[in-house]
Structure 1
């Protein structure tokens, strides 16, 4: 072998090493947050096979839902997406405990696979039933108000931050030996019922929502990250005919947020769903809502 060939090989080996070191998997990541209708009360036993099959390229990090002050809040692990990430799901940061319920995540991911074939999809989920974005409505469920002291100085926003930090700190979520590169691709927010019970709190919903969504975008390192809001609805399943006395004020604030803010849209199909109980949609509702969220976030990203 001549000297020129040897020189070329000597120069090539370092370049090969650099290429190997910089090989990365690009993974689209979506955040799902809110209160109980984001948790999900769909029944796993009622899931069609078409929703649960072939989710091989989808992973989820589901932060442990916990009250304010609970030090287990936000703990989780990356795993392949399966049914059971609904109400009563839990994790201690080492293992997860799937429940008998599902939320929007399954049909959301399934629909996204149609839009992004052959791409890897990651979902970060933290939600907790009954929570408010106003500290005066925290009650026993907790509040997302960033400055709220909560219990022991820990609130729902802190649990959210812990979820995101833990999820994004993992550099190989599928354990394939290749570093992952996260592409933040959207925020899905389904919440507001707890803020619709008192007039003064409902009036503040727009300002509270704008501030919180700005901070959620910042936590995901993208100031114009697309946001899809799920419009709250009311089953009317009590003596007064309204579960949420000031629900219209929160609905107006949600519509205002979607209209005024950049890269935001709203899903209104919730008005048509049947209910599992007085507060939560049935299985078909969660399946449809997940698909509608996927349609909406895809269109925002496409813009």
Structure 2
């Protein structure tokens, strides 16, 4: 995958003046555990006129890292992707994993007559919205005073927009916020009933804060439903998944600019928590179709 945005990618969108910007956020099933080796040929390639900003993840309590750049979307932007600095500057190092981003971008471009898109992806594995989950995987609660995943996301959103589409010659392409994709909830469904029951309010809050950050109070949102997962040490990995999923459906149902998407029935898993490769592909397509319907 190329590490620089080609001039042709910018020139082909010059007539519209901007790329629609989609925010991809959540936890590990947004980050993506699909295997690049299992991608079909149409997705196992660099996608023309699709840009992605996928910065390094940081723990709660750590400052956001001043690194990351826009690159063309290709395989390897799932779990384990990272940026490094060397003598040539910042370099994107793809991993062997992918998430919903590949199929989403391909499908949304088809639905919008081939128009280019930009993706900002920040998803921290294991992260919750609720601030009192016992494991320290990260928290999205925007009201927590300490540095957390919301702090990081907010920083990277502003950094990404300020560096939008900058090529080697310093040309900049404008970004227009177009929607939010939210794939998260497993951690809020894993611990106690009380944490799960707070999910509806917490999800509404994080969506509201993301919309406020972008300056678009009615920014479309597509929420992926939490699935019943496997078992861990003989017990359900997500004992309160039903409560969280009902909350997700209710939030979407009460918001004229939101949609709820279910993963495919009978989909596969690679472990008790994470989808298989085909499920990430189908989920990305479904989220693209739901997003296109919201903005039609």
TM-score w.r.t. structure 2 length? 0.88
Q: Report the CA distance between 1:172 and its aligned residue.
A: 3.5
Contact 2:28 2:274 (C-alpha < 8 Å) held by counterparts: yes
Instruction: Deviation per CA, 1:172-220: give whole Å up to 9, x if none.
Output: 4355765422121110000001001211111100000001100011112
Correspondence 1:254 to 2:236:
no
Larger radius of gyration: 1
For 1:147-296, what aligned pairs fall within 5 Å after superposition? 147-149=143-145, 153-174=146-167, 178-196=171-189, 197-238=191-232, 240=234, 242-296=236-290
Q: How far apart, in 2, do the equivalents of 1:223 and 1:211 lie?
A: 12
The separation in 1 between residues aligned to 2:66 and 2:113, in whole angstroms, is 30
- Structure 2: how far apart are the matches of 1:74 and 1:193? 29
For the 8 Å contact 1:64–1:73, the answer to whether it is kept is: yes
Change over 3 Å in CA distance of 1:229–1:178 after alignment to 2: same
1:68 and 2:70 matched? no
> RMSD of the TM alignment (CA)?
2.1
TM-fit CA distance, 1:270: 4.6
Question: Which residue in the other structure is 1:12 paired with?
Answer: none
How many Å apart are 1:171 and its aligned residue? 4.3
By percentage of residues, which structure has more helix?
A: 1
How far does the alpha carbon of each residue in 1:73-105 deviate from its partner, in whole angstroms, 9 at most, with x for none?
Answer: 574210000111111112257222211100011
**Is the CA contact 1:23–1:179 (under 8 Å) kept in the aligned structure 2?**
no
Equivalent residue for 1:140?
136
- Over 3 Å counting, the alpha-carbon distance change for 1:156 and 1:181 in structure 2 is same
Contact kept? 2:45, 2:75, Cα under 8 Å: no
Distance 1:179 1:239, change over 3 A: closer
Unaligned 5+ residue runs, structure 1?
1-21
User: TM-score, normalization: structure 1?
Assistant: 0.86
